[in-house]
Structure 1
Amino acid sequence: MLTSMPIPFLDVRGLADSLRAELDGCWQAVLTHGRFIGGPETEAFELRFAEFCDSAHCVGVANGTDALELVLVALGIGPGDEVIVPANTFVATAEAVCAAGARPRFVDVRPDTLEIDPDAVAAAVGPRTAALMAVHMFGQMTDVDRLAPLAQRHGIALIEDAAQAHGARFGSRRAGSVGIAAGFSFYPGKNLGALGDGGAVVTHDAALADRIRVAANHGRVAGGHHVHKVRGRNSRLDTLQAAVLTAKLAHLDRDNERRRVLMDRYRQRLPDGCTPLAQHPRAESVHHLAMVQVTDRAAAVAALDAERIGWGVHYPVPCHQQPAFADFADGPLPVAERAADTILSLPMSPTLSIDQVDRVCDVLARAGLP
């Protein structure tokens, strides 16, 4: 008979329970004033999140995918343009490029961090390259010290996909402060997660922020509810989610530090055959995911399942091998393809205990990984 308590892969419920009084207050405040779209909490969150990201402007939108697409469209990137994208990313990065009418140009990643490879980016730049998606994977910012000068040298836009990197740093720079703009997701499982979908664009460029705000609100000009300046769309961060995000933002640095403590413990206790991804010496990760590479994933997950320990794979099929993007596959990308067979995501939440991390490691040690 199983006696050990299960360990969730992601403890969304536990994190919400720890903030129950604050979240109840958000609900009551929004119910009281009744401005469920465009209420005062939305602007307040935008101001706070821009400051948190060391950026000047924030525009709340409906989700992280919309955030990236709105940036591309506002920059005038579309049909005939190419956007460089790492093969190892969630498909939303490529979806946004396609939705804008541009072509994703997939490139390989580094074998140690599984972040986009700057050398591969340099080799992929061509006459149609309009932008580079600097995707900050698993909570670690990619090597912006190399990517930013490369983008500037070639005259292409550097766009940060920071959906997994709320609060991460590279040197002194926060995620969201490096590129022309950055897209964030507030999907519930993110480091800063809403109670539903949500997203944001942050940028230093006031004119770009204004164009995105207009486009995301049906093309309406400021102060003109019935005047539609451009053909826009409906992509707004609603008031309740903004209120929740503001409450959670106050605890984000603390929660991210807890994730670093937990990941350090994983590094100390994980057995041979289970290797954490490397961290760039200038990067301060927020460990959205506890990523490892294993010598026998089937044995590892069987052992975890037997002990009711949650796990994930991010991602088992690289973007260039997905049927939806087969038209854009330019050839093999061996690092991303090899990693797809070995990567494993272990439990990671600010509510996780050291004892639970130790249990995960002990279970993997008994799995007999070669």
Structure 2
Amino acid sequence: MSLPGDEALLRSLTPGVLGALVRRGADFAAAEDAVQEALVEAVRSWPAGPPRDPKGWLVTVAWRRLLDMSRSDAARRRREELADEEPAPGPAPDVDDTLQLYFLCAHPSLTPSSAVALTLRAVGGLTTRQIAAAYLVPEATMAQRISRAKRTVADVRLDRPGDVATVLRVLYLVFNEGYSGDLDLAAEAIRLTRQLAAGVEHPEVAGLLALMLLHHARRDARTAPDGSLVPLAAQDRTRWDTTLIAEGVAVLQAALARDRLGEFQAQAAIAALHADAPTAEETDWVQIVEWYDELARLTDSPVVRLNRAVAVGQADGAPAGLRALAQVSPTVPRHDAVAAHLHERAGDLQVAAELYVQAARQASNSRERDHLLRQAARLNSRGTARREQG
């Protein structure tokens, strides 16, 4: 499905239309298929004359598609019941079920990958082909994943409050996928989180939005022209998006003012301190350590303790950072990379080079692996030069 001129409008209406069908008792899986067909029909017919009430038009067309998809005798009886409930022509009721759909798509019975796929399809309005391309999997594979997810939540009704924390974790998973091909999942996650923030007053929703904005502001500076990774300390800060940074800081300050600290707010505060520093050398590492202490208290996460060790190494010196790292299990991802960084700062170049090589073997993608191998080669060259001078 292609949504050229009306893409933004159609995608923004998708969750409300789907929610209207489900709230009237329609099966979630069938309703979602019907909405997709209604979107296709909108793309075909709207250029000739867009409706006065786009949402009402979509609800009516999707409902009729839902009736058309009923084929068995049992389904035919249910179709007669549904026919009595068909929405009358005219403006759609001003009821927004978007928030409940977020909760449904992040249902605890779904795996994280299924929850992400279903959120992008049902709330984000993306096609199965778009989602598959973003995750670099065959369309048939993604279709099966989405179908299983829809079956899992088929009998879950939109009549109970959901868990905001679960929804936020799903959105953060979407954001961290970044982008691939023509679909920017980081931008999509920001759009969906803005949508969620507009529907719920929750400081952690604002905290996640601020975190996404602050991270996204640095995106253009994260890679060199040849595609290689550029570490934070080496990034050209003139390439950071100051508009996104200003928005992220404002959103964060409003959230912190409510005095209900959560992990996304704490992460955003760390990102804001990085964004506030004119140069890497001027970063307020002491404050960053304090925020990592808050974050560790909130989450007790080994990944947080790993990142805290880096901050301690910057604030109090490499030996202090290595002592902090000793409290973190070596099985935590990126442990060897952090150890290499701290040993390099301590002057142990040979040990650091070996650790960079070990970290490269465990890298999750080729870009990260190449970066770590370049670090090892750089240190080996320095070590060779030292020996030759000695």
Higher strand fraction: Structure 1 or Structure 2?
A: 1
Could you say which structure has the larger radius of gyration? 2
Relative to the length of structure 1, the TM-score reads 0.22
Higher helix proportion? 2
